[in-house]
Structure 1
């Protein structure tokens, strides 16, 4: 299914495009790492089948020596939990950048948002949604997606800042209550939300998919509240008026077509002649 089909619109904003691109590139890197990891496990099982006394610790040391990698301290008992938890650090860092970028994009739509960095003011996402609501932009995100966002956010903070399990246990159990809905929304990831102390690759997949959907819901909701005429009359900086006059001279229709092309390239939508004319 093409992206436009399930989104119901071709509208997009620079912040969402950037976030989706960053996540896509990082997903590919992690998928590569996971391919290597699974190949390594497969090889270990094959060698252990021939030598039942071979421990995973000795096997990895052998591999490290062969690849000339200095393998230091390694928690062999529960290493996958730490490995997969580390995978979600970058996506949340990228999402923080998305929040900053979307605030800049909103200014282009004459919508001013400010995030308070003081503790106790809520997450950047909750503040953004709250301030948008005050401005008549009601972004409706299903509660289980918000719960997932919060659990993986706290899980990410725990591994990034070496915080205890108590940081995220309650949020894990809150998400588990909706596990059947999570499975329906993000299918083919049966091992997600298995246990608070056992993250899996499926958790990474669900985490990044959830972040992408949340950013996209926000983007699509914003479109419904854009006053293109008001933006046009403000003569936005991203319209090169000198270029319009140089290329189109005094031909009005050419100017309108030029504006339409710029808007379509930036936001993915094709405006009517009337709306395009408001930019001139």
Structure 2
């Protein structure tokens, strides 16, 4: 009766050597087997919940990353259609940008297909010039800034070598500058810097903005948190800064975000010593 009501802790404690004794032993063994199977089912259930959570986070993440190059491609395509070949320099630059972003989009889709087939992705690090990547991102995002009636000014030392994955570093910069564009004040000039400071490689993105209180600042790197809910971009799900944080952590860097004097300042640093040690080990 206890077992029927769900109590699997009950056991028959007496010992007999006849048929009743064997029945009692078999009953206890049966309860042990049932308890073991239920524990396995609970573990499988919890594992499936975690897999579902990771799958949803991956889907939201990749959707956010696919949106950025598509927006950039659409922006250049619309301008080229409007202006034609009247500005040949811009026409060539726009075509090159569309081709480059299309290739990057294609590479992202291939990675997505690899993950969907449960293939293990190799996270090999390369020697990349993050300064060149940052400059390229700034130039490609200028058109997006202009659509918001804003501008981007950059001052980047060369070279700024880090051991990382070029695509991941590009994602880092795209998300930071995209946030600066979306959440800066109207007619803002966004400042982007890359420099060597005290044995570190430092990147600074600064933009005029409304003040952000301490509670919001402490939560901005959390997934799905929208600190500027009153004016978020349609389709935004609050993943940009959490992606940035995961990339910085992946390459053992640091990131800080401060709001002062009506300016939002994001600083990302990578240790040059770690870069040199990685170079020696390659």
- Which structure has more helix as a fraction of its residues? 1
Q: TM-score, normalised by structure 2?
A: 0.26
Normalization by structure 1: what TM-score?
Answer: 0.26
The structure that has the greater radius of gyration is: 2
